[in-house]
Structure 1
């Protein structure tokens, strides 16, 4: 994880180039010391994906996004809230009854 990505001017660059052609940005190269154009492209692509799937992350400042595969497998905020409410309802119906399967907690 390159913490230089958290610098304010880098975060502004990522946000300002959210709709840019990432391939062109990679070919142009990075204008930031200690940050590759590939790292910038990954952050721009991930932030763009987060706009629909994880709006809180998109709107938050100073986030280093995980690799694309992690975002692909992440539930959206809407789905996560639904699942959390579903678990809360089940817990209310069956207090103190949790089911374990191979070290994974299911409600």
Structure 2
């Protein structure tokens, strides 16, 4: 009897955890769709490019963070090494781009 109760509790816990995870995925997906719609609307509105480009880059960075954090499960335990390598690659890309921009402007 005790074993059956533990199994039911474990099953309930697993279902609850999956439900919460699905809720986070849906919320993240909806936010990414909203950011995409905002980006399209901003470009279609005809606002000056000097204002649009930084907004688009910011929204793109937020979407990349959502992708890493939620859909690639970087928030879960045991993913420290892949997360470190990905974030290191992002940092190296940022430094490379910053260097190229600095070289081209001077």
Of Structure 1 and Structure 2, the greater helix share is in 2
Of Structure 1 and Structure 2, the greater strand share is in 1
Alignment TM-score, normalising by the size of structure 1: 0.26
Between structure 1 and structure 2, the one with the greater Rg is 2
